[in-house]
Amino acid sequence: MRTERLTPTLVRVVLGGPGLDGFRSADGTDAYVNVAIPPAGAPYGAVFDPRALREAGLPREQLPARRRYTVRSWDADARELAIDFVVHGDAGVAGPWAASAEPGDVLVFEGPASGYRPDPAAAWHLMLGDESALPAVAASLEALPTDATAVVRLVCDGPEHEVPLSAPAGTDLVWLHRTHDDERDAALLLEATRALEWPDGTVHAFVHGEAEEIRAVRRHLLLDRGLERSEMSCSPYWRRTMTDEAWRSVKRDFVAAMDAEVA
Ligand SMILES: Cc1cc2nc3c(=O)[nH]c(=O)nc-3n(C[C@H](O)[C@H](O)[C@H](O)COP(=O)(O)OP(=O)(O)OC[C@H]3O[C@@H](n4cnc5c(N)ncnc54)[C@H](O)[C@@H]3O)c2cc1C
């Protein structure tokens, strides 16, 4: 339907039309869909069934690239679904697709599914991540009651990359700006989490973003802060230097190793 540049590196794509007639939102506030973006010159039309294509035995290079994206919002009355894409330069498939998307373009996706919703029984909520987790964090903050306590730390490239968030008044939100020193930037989220003054009572945490950063924060939360696994939703959304294809091929082992180090 339309696109909107939210920040220099974040593009909102609003989908609509009769293709969304069957769409049902998921329970969680981190609902995600699997988008399928065909390569140039694909021998099938703009609208296709990704599962049928997978089973059709097409050469790998003709299959659509699969990427996972959060449903930033779903407006059933207007039949509009918004996805916020990080555009990280010219690299990748989905980022460039979103950067050049125009009204009338088609995006095929499967889903949604979800895994997290802030637990109303928790005394406070911790949300940590980068721009890729921002859509889920934003949707989660919107779902909190007005008297909830939330502590939010979000990594981004600088002040012009911050987006206004609708959150309970008691939200402690700090944007962490990258310095473009890779080693320092990779430690920003962990350092900020280490420095947190811990509110009293049980916490429910949402920790998503770059794989190594998430792994370090998770280790800190479990080992140093004494969180139970059941008190957090934690997953590595993407991995620095790897395409999503490369990342998916090692993700299972990475997650197993991540689990084993705090067994
Ligand atoms: C459940 C789930 C929900 C997600 N929701 C969102 C979302 O709402 N919005 C969103 O933007 N992403 C989201 N992601 C992450 C997104 O799927 C990945 O970032 C994906 O790799 C982007 O694909 P691409 O084709 O643009 O780049 P790729 O082809 O996968 O990668 C190309 C290069 O870009 C780098 N790269 C990939 N992602 C980023 C990034 N975010 N910042 C900087 N460099 C990057 C890679 O390391 C690689 O070097 C989500 C992931 C999961 C698992």
Q: Bridge-partner residues for 153, per DSSP?
A: 128, 174
Please say if the pLDDT value at position 246 is more than 80: yes
**Under DSSP, is residue 32 helix (H, G, I), strand (E, B) or coil?**
strand
The confidence score (pLDDT) of residue 256 equals: 95
Q: What CATH number does the domain located at 2-113 have?
A: 2.40.30.10
Q: Bridge-partner residues for 152, per DSSP?
A: 127, 173
Question: How many A from CA of 9 to the centre of ligand 1?
Answer: 12
Beta carbons within 10 angstroms of residue 56's beta carbon: 12
With 0-12 / 13-18 / 19 or more C-beta atoms within 10 angstroms meaning exposed / middle / buried, residue 126 is buried
- Ligand 1 pocket test, pick from 66, 83, 88 with the greatest ligand atom count within 8 Å of Cβ, gives 88
The answer to whether the 2-113 and 124-261 domains have the same CATH topology is no
Q: What CATH number does the domain located at 124-261 have?
A: 3.40.50.80
Nearest atom (ligand 1) to Cα of 245: 30
For residues 50 and 9, what is the distance between their CA atoms, to the nearest angstrom? 28
Q: Residue with the nearest Cα to atom 29 of ligand 1? A: 92
What residue ranges do the domains of the chain occupy? 2-113, 124-261
138 in Cβ contact with 149 (< 8 Å) = no
Identify residue 263 by its one-letter amino acid code.
Answer: A
Strands, E, within 157-198: which ranges?
171-177
For residues 71 and 210, what is the distance between their CA atoms, to the nearest angstrom? 19
CA distances 120 to 56, 111, 146, 203, Å, are: 45, 25, 12, 10
**Tens digits of residue pLDDT in 121-176:** 999 999 999 999 999 999 999 999 999 999 999 999 999 999 999 999 989 999 99
**Tens digits of residue pLDDT in 56-105:** 989 999 999 999 999 999 999 999 999 999 999 999 999 999 999 999 99
